[in-house]
Structure 1
């Protein structure tokens, strides 16, 4: 039964990835056409911030369903709190011989793996390491939202907002489900570092550094040399990975999730489904952003791709 539930979890992420792939392929459906209410709602759901402005004039009822883009910060508050809470309990269970609260054990028992394997120690450590990196990633992004990024008056749909809140709870819960059952039952963890842990952590640090640099570049476009915000308008970024793609911070996000798949030992199908979701989610956002730059800046560099250098 546990194996079936693990497959269901992977399938859920795969379906989510497929939904965003479909949205990516259908993004050019115009908002004003027969059945325009549905098309307008679709465009409103896939766009946010500056790309929403290019989606045509929205009806008043749609404008009632939007919240400030700066509320992105709430996603990382939820992630830091929820995933931090789970990380503390997992650390206690893994290193101090404690046990998780009963409600967490019950919630994830169906998704846990009760079978033992020779690589169980590595699976324990890999899952804990991914949890730690996911939490650190959320902490950094929260700090960047609070003290680095300069948000304009852009908006996001309330559905996007609620989805974002749920996403970080779901992704943390998915990592928890990768932890073999016996770590949740008070068995202490023996740390075994493997080569793929080193590769994954190195890739994570590399991608995180570049993501931070790119977010600083975006923020500096709206600041004076003294650091004072002087504009909320959009302009063409340059430097670092911006020389190759329009949205290098999205590309870095994808690499961060790939690094976690590596840390889990390459073979974790569920996490690769999460990576597929991140790929198509970030690809959709990147393409819309790329098209915005091309439509609004006639001198926009022709060689830049949307998300992945030289590829897409």
Structure 2
């Protein structure tokens, strides 16, 4: 029964990621069609205004022209999303605690977590893991392959650059002491910003690709996730790139939006 549920859930997740990737691909294609873009200063109630307003956020919100008053009622402050970070810290903290207890104290996962892992992974988590490992390898070193090392190095490399880019963006508004002195937007320079407008999005993509490498490049479901991340981040990168180009007269023309030298 568990195996059947795992198979069904796995197929549903594949279709979900494929559908999300297709949706953002469609959005990206629509954004590249000039006649579907809302003209600057337009106050029309047409499809472009509604579509662009739904799609854009933050500094790119002004790129959809004059916004109808009724659309502005749906705007919410960023502080409303604190719950996302709180839940994320609590959930990931619980998972980390469960993992540490399992690895170093040999405590089993809770029943509901075991059942959840059974459905998502299709394996029986309550089996004897020591016997499982012993039966499939003579030592832990045999389980480490070249793609594990390559994926880990790629993950670290991309994460370091993403952190550097986030620091560069944060420092555009702060002094060396950390005091916020500027609430406007400026052109970022340094690190991968010399090649693309949104290097933190590119680094995010590389992080997901590094996980695919760690899986031996064979996990089809994860490649669907990578495809979703690619198109999702591409949409945001295109919007940010257009914002920079339209608001800064001397914006570097050599920069691409998302992928260095390509896109």
Normalising by structure 1, what TM-score?
Answer: 0.70
Counterpart in 2 of 1:182? 124
Q: SS at the partner of 2:260?
A: coil
Correspondence 1:64 to 2:73: yes
Matches of 1:217 and 1:83, distance apart in 2: 27
What is the CA-CA distance between 1:292 and the residue it aligns to?
0.4
Does the 8 Å CA contact 1:251/1:308 hold for their aligned counterparts?
Answer: yes
Alignment correspondent of 2:215: 264
Give CA-to-partner distance per residue, 1:110-168, whole Å, 9 cap, x none: 3332xxxxxxxxxxxxxxxxxxxxxxxxxxxxxxxxxxxxxxxxxxxxxxxxxxxxxxx
8 Å Cα contact 1:196/1:262 also seen in 2: yes
* 1:24 and 2:28 correspond: yes
- How far off its partner does 1:274 sit? 0.9
1:214 pairs with one of 157, 165, 169: 165
Written as runs of structure 1 = structure 2, the 5 A alignment for 1:191-202 is 191=140, 192-202=143-153
Residue 290 (structure 1) aligned with residue 204 (structure 2)? no
The alignment of Structure 1 onto Structure 2 pairs a total of residues equal to 245
Residue aligning to 1:8: 12
Partner of 2:136: none
5+ residue gaps in structure 2? 134-139
Whose radius of gyration is greater, 1 or 2? 2
Q: Is the 8 A contact 2:114 2:125 kept in 1?
A: no
Output the aligned Cα RMSD. Answer: 2.6
Distance in 2 separating the partners of 1:107 and 1:40: 42
Q: Can you list the C-alpha shifts for 1:180-224, whole angstroms capped at 9, x where unaligned?
A: x23354534755322222111111111111111111111111123
Partner of 1:249: 200
Aligned equivalent of 1:279: 230
Q: TM-score, normalised by structure 2?
A: 0.82
For residues 95 and 163 of structure 2, what CA distance do their matches in structure 1 show?
26
